[in-house]
């Protein structure tokens, strides 16, 4: 899926590391962690995009109620 990989190192509590090691024959922790990180990155990228769009929308004037319907009607009637 990806090309070149990099090392990401994190510290975890000793007890958690022991529990992870106890399950290493059952769970592929690397795959689990990579999948989790991919999902979280996608979530935060979407969240960031939404916030940027909301910020851009604050700078645009609010249109009066019914403006879109009137505009479509006028365009249709002018044909």
Tens of pLDDT, residue by residue over 9-48, are: 999 999 999 999 999 999 999 999 999 999 999 999 999 9
- Please give the pLDDT value at position 6: 95
Query: Quick check: 71 pLDDT over 80?
Result: yes
- pTM higher than the cut 0.85: no
Query: Quick check: 1 pLDDT over 80?
Result: no
Helix (H) or strand (E) holding 25: none
Q: Are 20 and 29 in contact (CB under 8 A)?
A: yes
């Amino acid at each position: 899926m990806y090309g070149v990989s990099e090392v990401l190192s994190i510290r975890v509590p000793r007890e958690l590391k022991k529990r992870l090691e106890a399950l290493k024959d059952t769970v592929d922790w690397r795959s689990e962690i990579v999948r989790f990180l991919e999902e979280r990155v996608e979530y935060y990228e979407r969240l960031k995009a939404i916030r940027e769009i909301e910020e851009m929308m604050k700078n645009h004037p609010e249109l009066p109620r019914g403006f879109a319907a009137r505009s479509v009607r006028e365009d249709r009637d002018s044909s």
